Amino acid sequence: MEIVCQTEIAFELGYITKDAFENISKKAKKLAVKMSNYIASIKKNNI
């Protein structure tokens, strides 16, 4: 996921804290699961 990669770079360069990095990564991964499930639902129901 691009946002996680860019967030990791920002953390490594000292632009964001470890807490911010972990928070963003956690939210991005949770959103990715939701999006994946939504896409699967659309494909299943031919919407």
pLDDT digits (tens, 9 = 90+) for 6-37: 999 999 999 999 999 999 999 999 999 999 99
pLDDT the model gives residue 46: 81
Q: Rounded CA gap, 35 and 1, in Å? A: 12
pLDDT the model gives residue 47: 66
pTM recorded for the entire structure: 0.77
Alpha helices in the chain (DSSP H): 2-12, 18-45
